[in-house]
Amino acid sequence: MNTNRIDKQADPRITQKIQTLIIGRLLTIFLLLVSSWLWNSGHLNLSYENIPQGLFLIFLISVGLTIVYFFVLRLSSNYDWQLRIQFLLDILLVTWLIWSSGDVTSPYITLYIVLISVAGIFLGSRATLLMAAICVSIFTLLAILTTTNVIRSFSTAPEISKVIQIVGFHVAAFLIVGLLSARLAERHASSEKLEKTAKTLADLRVLNERIVESIRSGLVTTDLDGKIYTFNKAAEEITGYEGKNVRGTSVFELFGDIKREVLKSLSEDANLTEYQPRYEIGFTTPDGFVVQLGYSVSPLFAESGEKTGLIITFQDLTEIRSMEESVRRKDRLAAVGRVAAGLAHEIRNPLGAMRGSIQVLKSKSGQSPSQTNLMGIILRESDRLNEIITNFLKYARPQTSSFNDIDLREPIRDTFTLLQHSPDVADNHMLEMVLPDEPFLLSADVSQLKQIFWNLSRNAIQAMDDGGTLNVELSLAGKNRAKIVFSDTGCGMSPKQVEQLFEPFSKSTTGGTGLGLSIVYQIVRDHNGTINVSSKEGKGTTITMYLPIEGVKASAEGPEQRLAKPTADTNLGEYLNVKQDKHTISS
């Protein structure tokens, strides 16, 4: 079997190779013809009488064969047989040239060696050895026929011993060249096969990399010790780490303690089930943000079926968990709204009667100071209870918003003006505003915005019993969002308090009912905005709001900023709360 058999569809380059062989053969014969002509002439004055007749005839035959070869090359794709026939015709032509130029004493016997060598390039090892054997047989037969005068000899017949010496020397040369050419043909075939295999492997590698990079889930592959050697683009986007920085590191340094899941996936029982269990883990990005990852671990098998590593696929579940928490919150708020109106009126009616009765008793004279004091307490507490009911009704049945184009700086300034005259603000409280110099226009309900700013400011002041700084900053985030940041240096909140911050009647650090921030949340939602909270006990709180705008006449000072996220100091509950607020309000 020819190991160098080439199919046109498998390797289109063979057409070019055969064309090179056809043209090279014709050019070689032409050069032989010219050199022999010059040799016979002995000078540069060439004449027709000095043209080697044999070479000239072979040149003419070669021109005709060249046309035939090109024609057959276009008609047939069986290149292997075309090459075999061409080389066989070459042997016959060379043999005729040797016979006509002196048989065993011809200077063109070396052309056999050239044919065998070229055959090693285009044919396989067996075909090359066959070519050498044919050359040996034909040359030996030619020597026998001319020596025994069976056919005419064009040279003076040498002695038999000399003929045997010449034939034996050339036969040995043909066989040695044939063996070497066959060896080279094998190496050439192996080289081509290796090149094709390398190209195929390279193509498969590129295809594999493209498939891995196009997967929208994070994908990490490791060895059995957990050392990372594949980290796709989705993994980079989800985790925030670059693949070049994590390759070669331990997956346990990246994802934390997941050894129990890894050992479970590598156990023999894991191979018996098609379903791979899913796990969840909190992951901290290089920027300090916390994301919730859902991941699965499965063994990586070699071609032999042996386990060679791990495949870890994961997705960012933060938005999904935020949506679930948002749905739960909406369910709780819907339940509150259903009982709000009736319950509030049922409480207000006896509360009004009680207050009226106490006022009548207080107006009468003759009460002792202790009785007067107790009646004052009852009146104050009834007022406080009425305020709670009023806020509850605002929360359960919010008023219709009235949107107008406003300068966002004005409600912030008005809020700070009122706050400066509030009895809650002491001398050790500092109020700071960072506002743009130019108008900051957007469409909003100014009274509701004032209520947001007032509630947030009062909560911040009440969280700073020992004094501190309240800072409000207005800036432009992106091209179509206003960013308002309220930050204080107060007592801060625990992760659980942050998680329940916008729920009604949640436990407040300021001792309130929690309805104020619930109303804030609802107003921001009605304005299609988002609100985030970042807080740490003893370090203060930062509340960031984003409100959509149609356009701004002058952008706020400072660079564009990204949406605020909790830092690594906050726990998963705090992070989910922030993500939940972002999703719920935006929707």
Structure-token match 């509701």, residue found? 448
- Tens digit of pLDDT for each residue in 528-569? 888 888 888 888 899 998 888 864 333 333 333 333 333 333
H or E element that contains 196: helix 160-214
- Look at the alpha carbons of 499, 502, 504, 508 in this order and tell me if their dihedral is positive or negative: positive
What is the DSSP-derived secondary structure letter of residue 275? P
Q: CA-to-CA distance for 532 and 451, rounded, in angstroms? A: 18
Beta bridge partners of 231: 220
Question: pTM of the full predicted structure?
Answer: 0.42
The single-letter code of the amino acid at 308 is T
| Residue 343, both tokens | 């319950």
Apex 355 CA angle, 350 and 359, nearest 5: 150
- Tens digit of pLDDT for each residue in 390-423? 766 666 555 566 788 888 999 999 988 888 888 8
Q: How far are the Cα atoms of 233, 236, 241, 248 from residue 244, in angstroms, in the given order?
A: 11, 10, 9, 9
Q: CA-to-CA distance for 413 and 117, rounded, in angstroms? A: 96
Q: CA-to-CA distance for 495 and 497, rounded, in angstroms? A: 5
Structure-token match 């700086």, residue found? 409
Cβ neighbour number for residue 560 with a 10 Å cutoff: 13
- Tens digit of pLDDT for each residue in 304-339? 778 888 888 888 888 787 777 767 766 776 676 667
Which residues are CB-neighbours of 343 under 8 A, at least 6 positions away? none
- By CB atoms closer than 10 A (0-12, 13-18, 19+), residue 236 is middle
3-state helix, strand, coil in the chain (%, to 5): 60, 15, 25
Determine the topology of domain 215-316 in CATH.
Answer: Beta-Lactamase (3.30.450)
CA 279 to chain centre: 23
What is the DSSP-derived secondary structure letter of residue 260? H
Beta bridge partners of 282: 292
pLDDT range class, residue 43, cuts 50, 70, 90:
low
What is the DSSP-derived secondary structure letter of residue 399? P
Q: In percent, how much of the chain has pLDDT > 90?
A: 2
| Residue 547, both tokens | 């409100």
With H, G, I as helix, E, B as strand and everything else as coil, classify residue 445: coil
- Tens digit of pLDDT for each residue in 215-227? 888 888 888 888 8
What mean pLDDT comes out for the span 77-85? 81
| Residue 494, both tokens | 């625990």
H or E element that contains 219: strand 218-223
Architecture of 404-586 per CATH?
2-Layer Sandwich (3.30)
How confident is the model at residue 95, as a pLDDT? 85
How confident is the model at residue 560, as a pLDDT? 33
H or E element that contains 544: strand 540-548
Cβ neighbour number for residue 281 with a 10 Å cutoff: 17
- Report the range of poorest mean pLDDT among 37-46, 48-57, 521-530: 37-46
**Whether 231 contacts 248, CB under 8 Å:** no
Which residues are CB-neighbours of 564 under 8 A, at least 6 positions away? 485, 532, 534, 542, 544, 578
What mean pLDDT comes out for the span 283-302? 81
What mean pLDDT comes out for the span 96-124? 83
Give the closest residue to 515 by CA, choosing from 532, 530, 502.
502
Q: Is the pLDDT of residue 278 over 50?
A: yes
Greater confidence, 354 or 578?
A: 354
How much is the mean pLDDT over the chain? 76
How confident is the model at residue 288, as a pLDDT? 67
Apex 276 CA angle, 272 and 281, nearest 5: 145
Residue count of the chain, please give it: 587
Which residues are CB-neighbours of 36 under 8 A, at least 6 positions away? 52, 55
Cβ burial 437-465 (10 Å sphere, 16+ → b, else e):
eeebbbebbbebbbbbbbbbbbbbbbbbe
pLDDT range class, residue 112, cuts 50, 70, 90:
confident
